[in-house]
Amino acid sequence: MEAEFEAAIEDGRPFLFALGCLFAAWREIGKHSAGRLILANYALALGLLIPMATLQFQQAAGFLSSAEGMPSGILSAGDGPNLYLIWSQNSAIPILLITWLVLGMAHLCLAWMLVEGDWPRIVKCSTLIGAAMITLSLFMGVLMLDVLSLRTQVAELMIEFVAMISMSRWHISVFSDTSREFPTW
């Protein structure tokens, strides 16, 4: 390959040679199980994890944009502002904001780790996400805030959990097959 690249440099077309190599690699990546796994990892990271992080940041932005009082839709459905809880609810806004920001950052880190294939860190980050989501729902329940706004997030978290388990099983099967193909001496 280096000799071909040197010949391409002499012809004055190293960029075309590099593009040809890139197109050949794209044609071949789907033919191998490891290539399909890599494409699926990127699809999961870009299609589920990053939009989930965006959803978490959007929730945090809803808290940042409310300068006075509680953000819209945060109070329990059908309830007006409870005079006994207003101070507690307003005091909880920074903690809820930090929790949503942590959830968003954790989803971005999870997407990065998935693309890298770092499964021990994926487990740790997924545990952090699950714990933060449980904490968020309990905290909002104690403060008598609208927990129904978390329905879509919990549903997406379950989908994410199932996708991660299936991706890890696929990863194990792909790389256990490749280890049988190439015996170590």
Question: For residue 177, is it within any domain?
Answer: yes
* Closest to 71 (Cα-Cα) out of 95, 89, 51: 89
Does residue 154 lie in a domain region? yes
Is residue 107 assigned to a domain?
A: yes
Residue-level pLDDT at 25: 75
pTM: 0.75
Structural domain includes residue 98: yes
Cα separation values, 129 from 61, 68, 132, Å: 19, 29, 5
- Please name which of 94, 83, 86, 92 lies closest in space to residue 69, comparing C-alpha atoms: 86
pLDDT of residue 185: 42
d(CA 138, CA 26): 47
Over its length of 185 residues, how does the chain's per-residue pLDDT go in tens digits? Answer: 777 777 777 888 888 888 888 788 778 777 888 888 888 999 999 999 999 999 999 888 876 665 445 554 455 545 566 777 788 888 888 888 999 999 999 999 999 999 998 999 999 999 999 999 999 999 888 887 777 878 888 898 999 999 999 999 988 888 886 555 544 44
CB contact at 8 A, 101 and 107: no
Establish if 43 belongs to a structural domain. yes
In 3D, which of 56, 57, 54, 80 has the Cα closest to residue 69? 80
Task: Spell out the alpha helix ranges (H) of the chain.
Answer: 2-11, 14-29, 33-44, 50-65, 86-116, 119-142, 151-181
Tokens linked to 6: 């040197």
- Per-residue confidence (pLDDT) for residue 175, from 0 to 100: 82
Query: Is 141 domain-assigned?
Result: yes
Task: Establish if 10 belongs to a structural domain.
Answer: no
- For position 89, what pLDDT does the model report? 80
In the chain, how many domains are there? 1
> For residue 102, is it within any domain?
yes
Domain that holds residue 177: 32-181
